[in-house]
Amino acid sequence: MTTSTTGESSTAAPLLDLHALVVAVRRRRRLWCTLALLGLLAGAALAVLRPAPPSATAKVLVAHAADQPNDPGTLIRTDAALLQTTGIAAKALQALGSAEKPEDFMKEYAGAGLTNNLLEITVTGHSDAEAQARAKALAEAFVADHVKRLQDAADAESKALLDQRDRMRQELDQVNQQIGNATPQSVAKGAANLVSLYATRDELTARINDFSQRAAEAKVGAPRLVTGTQIVDAPHAVKQSLAKTAATDAGIGLVLGLFLGIAVAAVGAVVADRPVLRREIAAGLGASVIAELNRVPRRSLGRWQLRRTKAARARVTATLARTVRGSAEAVSLLELGCAHSTGAIALDLARVLAEEGGPAVVVDGLPGPQLAERGAEPGKPTVVRGEHAEAVTPPQERRIGVGSVAPGTAWTDLRHLGTRTVLVVRAGAGSAAWLHTVARQLAEQRIPVLGVVLIDPDPRDRTDGTRWDGPPAAPPDRDERPARLIRLGRRRTERLPIWTAPVPDIDQEAR
């Protein structure tokens, strides 16, 4: 029961109330727990019904001409991408003697770089032996292709250097010819030109030697790279554990189902706009929440749960009894989304009122046979249908009407159940628009709402459900208190001041 009283916030309501959204999602935990469980079972079933095919793996050490210690893995990713090409797939299929298309074979294997120079190849097949054979053929095809590319690159580099050397030699021959054609007379006249020719010849000779050396190094470096590229881990079958695979798939399904369930619950809460917090329900109905109660179970519970439920129902019944006892008019209980709980509360309330002072009759205005069969039981309050409500005379019997304000309600019939009402609303049962509709229709029928009993509230809801329509009243003046007490029918005995004789001081007595 709400005991605190606070003022309504003057700030504008947020576009999306995260607190209400979290509460709404938590209240729909059955949905996302069910989807999470379904995802868990689906993942485990998928691992059992569709086990992973036999697979084999092989590791290849790949040497690159441009290897660097700080390489971020670009070269090995390039090799993994080159593995997924039709050329290498076709060479592997040719080695296996298979007529399968390279495009189809590429879907059955994959390559991943473990380090900058280590490539892992994983291949699937119909059996372990076939998977191993495919992994071996694919690894050999990749090594052959890589070696060929290294050799082609070395040959191309060496040929380019040798071609450059040959061009330098042609220029050197021309310079030597110019030096040989020089005569003593031309030497005497153009000594500077002859010195330039000698310098050019020396430079060309040095460059020719450099190109020859670089061409030789290019030829020497290729065998080292070719030797470094090899299969370091022979193809072998991968041992697969059904339990491990099922656990992995079940975990993935659990996470996906949980995420999907929470997403669906959140979207549904935003779209449906069903208030679940006390403050939202109180604001929608324009009345305070005077009591809270968990949903009344339809079947018997355990001893501990039954004791807690009885204690909560007793507190709610005592609260409603004080509310009904203080009203001189007939009071009704109108439900929204909790007909069974409302019927149980009405019977408890009628029993308490009957024990305190005279018989009480429950007028059943609920749609369907909610309370018709309960009245015939011994020791239970009398229950009459709504059409027989006029036969119950309030001076003789206290009448408690039970009705519904769910969609489809005949609003004009509610006054026959009671001119004052207590709304029994299940949290999240009605949308915000329908709560406003209920408050407006009751106001038009001149049925004051004494309060709201909230059924199945969120246990972590700490919001206030008390309506506060203005500042607190100023305390009465001292001169107004006697008149106000007289108007309320209370008696006040005013005591006159008593005059006492002066008491002599101790010093005076001594004198």
Ranges of each domain in the chain: 18-51+243-272, 55-239, 278-455
CATH number for the domain running over 278-455: 3.40.50.300
Strand (E) or helix (H) holding 364: strand 360-364
In sequence order, which residues have a C-beta less than 8 Å from that of residue 316 and are 6 or more positions away? Answer: 291, 292, 293, 345, 348, 453
Q: Could you tell me if 140 and 231 are in contact, meaning their C-beta atoms sit under 8 angstroms apart?
A: yes
The residue assigned the tokens 């080695």 is 95
- Local confidence pLDDT in tens for the 511 residues of the chain: 444 444 444 445 566 778 788 888 888 888 999 999 999 999 999 988 888 888 999 999 998 877 777 778 888 999 999 999 999 999 999 999 988 999 999 999 999 999 888 999 999 988 889 999 999 999 999 999 988 888 887 777 778 888 888 888 888 888 787 777 766 655 555 667 777 877 888 888 888 888 788 777 766 666 777 778 889 988 998 888 888 888 999 999 999 999 999 999 888 888 888 888 888 888 889 888 888 888 766 655 545 456 777 787 888 888 888 878 777 788 889 999 888 888 888 888 888 888 876 677 888 888 766 565 554 455 567 777 766 555 555 545 678 889 899 888 888 888 888 888 999 999 888 888 999 999 999 999 999 998 899 998 888 887 777 765 544 444 444 444 444 333 333 333 334 344 334 444 434 433 3
Spatial separation of the C-alpha atoms in residues 74 and 366, rounded to whole Å: 74
| Half-sphere exposure in the Cβ direction for 104 (13 Å, CA) | 6
List residues bridging with 293 in a β-sheet: 455
Instruction: Indicate the helix (H) or strand (E) that contains 400.
Output: strand 398-404
**Cβ(32)–Cβ(493) under 8 Å?**
no
Q: pTM (2 decimals)?
A: 0.58
Pairing of strands 55-61, 118-124: antiparallel
- Number of alpha carbons in the 13 Å side-chain half-sphere of residue 435: 27
3-state percent breakdown (helix, strand, coil) of the chain, nearest 5: 55, 15, 35
The DSSP string of 186-229 is: HHHH-HHHHHHHHHHHHHHHHHHHHHHHHHHHHHHHHHHHHHH-
**What gap in Å lies between CA 57 and CA 134, rounded to an integer?**
10
Residue for token digits 């001169």? 479
The per-residue pLDDT for 254 is: 94
